[in-house]
Structure 1
Amino acid sequence: MPDWLPEGVSALGLAVLLFTVFVSGVVYGFAGFGAALIFVPVAARVVPLEIAIAAFTVSAVSSLVTVVPKAWRDVDRAAVTWQILCACISASLGILVLRTVDVTWLKWAMVALIALTLVALVAGWRLRAAPTRVTQGVVGLLAGFCGGALGLLGPPVVIFQLAGPDGAARSRAMTLVFLTVTSVLILPLMALQGVVTWAVLPLGLLLTLPYGAGTWVGHLLFRPEFERLYRGAAYSLIALAVVLGLPVFD
């Protein structure tokens, strides 16, 4: 393999990463969530967890072009900006946890959080909290910490957003904008703590191509009337990622 890729990445491993990030992008494009829930646990079987999170965060830049421009027109801009700000505040603490806590514990925490999120979504459980600035800020803080520590910005925001009064189109737009913009903004925070390095950057940039293509395809597939079908597909892929990401297979 090229020497600019992280050490230990085989041809098969790279193929798995490229395919998985494309599938993650498709799910993200039509469902508005689920990309990290699918990619990170699978990628962590190919590369170290820290590299998987950093590379995926870099690849999220492509979503700024493929899905955010249209989604931005449908969001509550004040609310999503406030949540993004709060997430960036707590992300640094999460990144510190990623750097210092034993990777096996992090993998178990990641799988547990994904599984809990999946169960909550399938069962129809929702965070019944009024969408005030306080609750939006708390959700943003939780998302930022989970994103920094486990690469999973989505769970708190998705569960909170689906509980609100927004329809499928606005809810999808809110999560798309939050997850994409926050991922991009925490890149400098990851770089400052040494998670995003020159060794990781080429892999992340390579992943932007299939991820961007996947989000574009998913965006084209999205139809509000097929919301249940999209969610069912996303749930199935997330469940598969949970199984593949179990540390017992390490």
Structure 2
Amino acid sequence: MPEALAAAFALPLVPVLAATALAGLVYGFAGFGAALVFMPIAAALIDPVLAIVAFALGTLSSLVTLVPAAWRQCDRRVTLLMIAAASATLPAGIWLLKILDPEAIRLAVALVAAVTLGALILGMRFTIRPGLGPSVAVAGAAGVMGGATGLLGPIVILFNLATGDGAGRVRANTLIFLTLTSLIVLPQMALQGLLKPEALWLGTIMLPFYGAGSVLGRHLFRPERERAYRIAAYAIIGLAIVTGLPVFDGLRG
């Protein structure tokens, strides 16, 4: 067995893979929230940099399970422009990931996740429909945040929820942005020397678990029941944030 694969199997795989499947489930029916579910839990169990890199690879199953249907529903012009803007700022975020202390990254993940969840629950909205300028600015900020913490979605989630579009379009826009930008993250990380063999093996192991969760979530999604499913997603994200807090480190041994 390759040394890197053995190192991946030596990690606490059961909770990591459970978090992976749960993240895929939330992503499949809500179109967001995968990193918000996965990162607070994984960053408390394994090195945050390892978790971010592995998750970027593990989520690529969405290209098959979710993207084809979402592509037909999304606003392609705006979404592709936002993907380009986020891609331009990702290197800056990845650089921060390299120089920051892992514990600082973990705390940043918990803080960003908690603030985003609070904003979503409170129903924060823009008062006007954003144009292309704000779209590019939001995506650029998301690229920096995503590179540094693995959380590409929080700002974009709030932005898309503010547009006034229906649940199907909001879900599709967010899903396409997050999935395709995550694909771009991998070569960016490779250029900065973060694609370690152990992370690649872990991400490969995660692929089927994330894919299975996302397929189940896709079948659960019903636009007419948007409120019920978003409440469920918020509850799962909140649980992930709480269980990822340092206060539970002793319980995890």
Deviation string, structure 1 residues 147-200 (Cα, Å, up to 9, x no partner): 100000110000000000210000000001000000001110011111222221
Aligned twin of 1:240: 239
More helix by proportion, 1 or 2?
2
Aligned twin of 2:4: 4
Contact map agreement 1:6 1:200 (CA 8 A) in 2: no
Instruction: Report % sequence identity.
Output: 47
Superposed CA RMSD in Å reads 1.6
Query: In the TM superposition, what is the alpha-carbon distance from 1:105 to its structure 2 partner?
Result: 1.7
- Letter paired with 1:111: A
Aligned twin of 2:88: 89
2:101 is equivalent to residue 102 of structure 1 = yes
2:164 is equivalent to residue 195 of structure 1 = no
Separation of aligned partners in 1, 2:188 and 2:175: 21
Aligned twin of 1:47: 46
Separation of aligned partners in 1, 2:153 and 2:175: 10
- Letter paired with 2:79: V
User: What is the aligned length?
Assistant: 249
Aligned twin of 2:144: 145
Instruction: Report the 3-state secondary structure (helix = DSSP H, G, I; strand = E; otherwise coil) of the residue aligned with 1:195.
Output: coil
Instruction: Report the 3-state secondary structure (helix = DSSP H, G, I; strand = E; otherwise coil) of the residue aligned with 2:109.
Output: helix
Contact map agreement 1:95 1:149 (CA 8 A) in 2: yes
Instruction: Report the 3-state secondary structure (helix = DSSP H, G, I; strand = E; otherwise coil) of the residue aligned with 2:198.
Output: coil
Aligned twin of 2:177: 178
Q: Kindly tell me: are residues 129 and 151 of structure 1, through their superposed partners in 2, closer, same or farther at Cα, counting changes over 3 Å?
A: farther
Deviation string, structure 1 residues 194-225 (Cα, Å, up to 9, x no partner): 12222211110110101011111100111011
Separation of aligned partners in 1, 2:125 and 2:50: 32
Query: In the TM superposition, what is the alpha-carbon distance from 1:103 to its structure 2 partner?
Result: 1.6
Deviation string, structure 1 residues 67-99 (Cα, Å, up to 9, x no partner): 000100011111000000000111110001111
Query: In the TM superposition, what is the alpha-carbon distance from 1:6 to its structure 2 partner?
Result: 6.9
- Letter paired with 2:4: W
Residues 115-134 of structure 1: matches in 2 within 5 Å?
A: 115-128=114-127, 130-134=129-133
Contact map agreement 2:4 2:197 (CA 8 A) in 1: no
Query: In the TM superposition, what is the alpha-carbon distance from 1:9 to its structure 2 partner?
Result: 5.5
Deviation string, structure 1 residues 26-56 (Cα, Å, up to 9, x no partner): 1000000000000011111221000000000
Contact map agreement 1:110 1:150 (CA 8 A) in 2: yes
Separation of aligned partners in 2, 1:200 and 1:247: 23
**TM-score under structure 2 length normalisation:** 0.94
Query: In the TM superposition, what is the alpha-carbon distance from 1:10 to its structure 2 partner?
Result: 3.9
Separation of aligned partners in 2, 1:160 and 1:44: 26
- Letter paired with 2:118: V
Deviation string, structure 1 residues 120-160 (Cα, Å, up to 9, x no partner): 00011124453211100011111111110000011000000
- Letter paired with 1:80: T
Aligned twin of 2:64: 65
2:40 is equivalent to residue 28 of structure 1 = no
Separation of aligned partners in 1, 2:153 and 2:240: 15
Contact map agreement 2:28 2:66 (CA 8 A) in 1: yes
Contact map agreement 1:44 1:52 (CA 8 A) in 2: yes
2:176 is equivalent to residue 208 of structure 1 = no
